[in-house]
Chain A
Amino acid sequence: MASKMENIDKPIDILDDANAPPIAEKSGFLPIETNWFDRLFISVVIWVAMSLLWFRFIEPLGLSIWISNVIALALAAFIIAKG
């Protein structure tokens, strides 16, 4: 009976998969809890936004899109490492 009560006190979480690899949450400078995929996603979103804005406002001034790509890559590395 006591063992049964123990089981009731600690119900099984059916969504919890013991075999699933743990997701490493990180606490960096971003205001939300993120794993590496979240930070990669944020980096890609920023890269696309930067590219479109670069096409519209900076490229007509003569600066190549590759500068934007390098900045976006550096930013992505920083966000994934420290975000």
Chain B
Amino acid sequence: MKSNTFGWILLAPTIVVLFFFGVLPFLYVVYVSFHQWNPFAANPYMIYNGAGNFRQIVFDGAFLASLGVTVAFVFFAVLTEVIVGYLLAQAFMSDFPGKAFFRTIHTLPLIIAPIIVGSIWKLMTTPSIGIIPHLLQSSVGFDLNIGQSAAAAFIITIIMDVWHWTPLVTLTLIAALVSLPPDPFEQAQIDGAGKWQIFWHITLPMIAPAVMATVFIRLMDALRIVDEVLMLTGGGPGSATRYIGVHIFREVFPRTNYGYGSAISVVVLYLTIVACWLLYTGMLAPRKPRKS
């Protein structure tokens, strides 16, 4: 049997599952995005709308505001997660008492369902019963109320996301750091390179593919955050934490505006793909040799 045929046979189940549960629903969403469809309206059938939904999106102030806060949220959350994740990975590379215990504890948030994470943080940040407002009030006199302060709600959602997903970044970067060969580091030390120079010129370029893969995963996840935020703030106060996923949820389910919600989903998917592609092109794609 040809190796190609055998490869296709092995891949076939995955391709079939992906086609029915990934590609078909995606094509259906694209199809719906070109229609007006409210199954609970007087006319419950799909009405072809051309590019009407997309025309509406670019003038939709709520969508554009939601996109703005989502971009800010993704930027701060993913950047913090990568920096903190790298520092923790470096810490876990060295030996210290209780390392295995701390590594297990630090990984626990990963196994908690997002809706539960939202509940935990809601309990911790609710004024009068939450531990965080209590500690902030008693230590620095700060009155934390995420139901009233837009900035506080925004920052708490970022902290919650960092708390939940930094362990994933740490685990990925530990795997990358463990696989690095020791020779370049020894040679750099012999040549008198400092810690910063070793990090910048050796460690970072060698773990760049792992970092980028992690950033892609986190970028895609952070862009479609819904349940944690819905549970913690409900998208408020006002629209301070009405991230794009929450916006789509509100558009599709309470308002049953399936066509418009699908169009927003398609635009968000487009933006996600473009963001990942730009990152890949900027950081990893092979450059053409310069003509001299």
Contacts and interface: CB of A to CB of B under 8 A. Distances in A.
Partners in one complex: yes
Nearest to B278: A45
Given A17-B4, A19-B3, A52-B267, A33 B287 contact: yes
Contacts of B55: 55, 59
B3 A32 contact: no
Contacts of A48: 270
A51 B274 contact: no
Contacts of A53: 58
Contacts, number: 41
B76 interface: no
A33 B285 CA distance: 8
A9 B54 CA distance: 58
B253 to A, nearest CB: 25
A48 B55 CA distance: 12
Interface in A19-49: 19-20, 27, 30-33, 41, 45, 48-49
A27 B291 CA distance: 12
Interface residues of A, number: 19
Interface residues of B, number: 19
Interface string A7-22: 0000000000101100
A65 to B, nearest CB: 7
Nearest to A42: B277
Most-contacted residue by chain B among A19, A20, A32 (CB, 10 A): A32
Contacts of B267: 52
B4 A20 contact: yes
Given A56-B59, A59-B55, A32 B285 contact: yes
A27 B288 CA distance: 7
A52 B58 CA distance: 7
A41 B286 CA distance: 17
Interface in B49-96: 51, 54-55, 57-59
A48 B267 CA distance: 9
A45 B3 CA distance: 35
B288 A31 contact: yes
Interface of A: 17, 19-20, 27, 30-33, 41, 45, 48-49, 51-53, 55-56, 59, 65
10 contacts: A17-B4, A19-B3, A19-B4, A45-B274, A45-B277, A48-B270, A51-B51, A52-B57, A56-B58, A59-B55
